[in-house]
Amino acid sequence: MDWQRFAERIGVMAHDLLEQPSMDATLRRITGSAAELVAGCDAAGILVLSTESVSLAPTEPWVAELDQLQRKLGQGPCFDAARPSTGERALRIADFTEGEPRWADFVAEARKWGVGSMMGFLLYTEDEDFGALNFYSRRPGAFTEASERAGVILASHAAVALSAARTHAQMEQALATRHQIGQAMGILMARHNIPENEAFNQLRAYSQNHNVKLREVAVLVCEQGALP
């Protein structure tokens, strides 16, 4: 492992991640970098566990299939890495041909897809967990301890970039919501000749009475010119 070259490329990646225009672009840059920077990696993806498991920005379609398989079976290194409650932040299956008692069912099924080895790393910051960054190889024994160290470093940079991208997206959404609500208030004020506070109270009352988000009420008013 040429650590000097790896450090240089990680530096370029870290800068690029913060320059991405959207969350989706950030995710694609992360998984693309994983496949490029870690020797032996044939494909990568991000597994997020919530009500349902979601495979984000997979570099190959079969990555999403394997992520869903782990969710279905309730086992696998990426599935466990995505659950911070396990206390493990880096998990690896070095060789699928040798089996792995901890994830026996997953290994047996994944071998049919031609997977030889894989790694999973928790994406986290001090404030939040995002899921797991996953590396797949067709070759048994492709990932070594050096590969795992490289994965930890890459996952750390990726988590910081994801946190920044999420914060930016939330700010943009908040500004868009504020703008839409302001437009809706203006429509109601003009239509009913009422003051600003009364227009806002009407929007809020409709939101509460109909269990509809305030932003969605504002969109309806902007589209229809009045409250439904």
Please report where in the chains the tokens 């991640």 appear, as a residue.
Answer: 17
Instruction: Check if the beta carbon of residue 203 is closer than 8 Å to that of residue 184.
Output: yes
Segment 146-197, tens digit of pLDDT? 888 988 888 888 877 777 666 656 666 767 778 788 888 888 888 888 988 8
Two tokens, residue 121: 């790393």
What is the pLDDT at residue 164?
Answer: 67
Confidence class for position 137, pLDDT limits 50, 70, 90 = very high
What is the pLDDT at residue 159?
Answer: 79
What is the pLDDT at residue 114?
Answer: 93
Segment 187-219, tens digit of pLDDT? 888 888 898 888 888 888 888 888 888 888 888
What is the pLDDT at residue 165?
Answer: 61
Instruction: Compute CA 40 distance to the chain's CA centroid, rounded to the nearest angstrom.
Output: 23
The residue that leads in pLDDT, 213 or 44, is: 44
What is the pLDDT at residue 85?
Answer: 66
Per-residue pLDDT for 136 more than 90? yes
Segment 82-132, tens digit of pLDDT? 876 666 778 889 899 887 889 999 999 999 999 999 998 988 755 565 778
58/47 Cα distance (integer angstroms): 9
pTM for the structure as a whole: 0.69
What is the pLDDT at residue 118?
Answer: 93
Q: How many CB atoms lie within 10 A of CB 17?
A: 21
Q: Could you write out the DSSP letters of every residue in 107-143?
A: HHHHHTTT--EEEEEEEE-SS-EEEEEEEEESSTT--
Q: Could you write out the DSSP letters of every residue in the chain?
A: --HHHHHHHHHHHHHHHHH-SSHHHHHHHHHHHHHHHSTT--EEEEEEESSSEEEES-SSHHHHHHHHHHHHHT-SHHHHHT-GGG--SEEEES-GGG--GGGHHHHHHHHTTT--EEEEEEEE-SS-EEEEEEEEESSTT---HHHHHHHHHHHHHHHHHHHHHHHHHHHHHHHHHHHHHHHHHHHHHHHHT--HHHHHHHHHHHHHHHT--HHHHHHHHHHHSS--
What is the pLDDT at residue 65?
Answer: 92
49/43 Cα distance (integer angstroms): 20
Segment 3-38, tens digit of pLDDT? 888 888 888 887 887 788 887 888 888 889 888 888
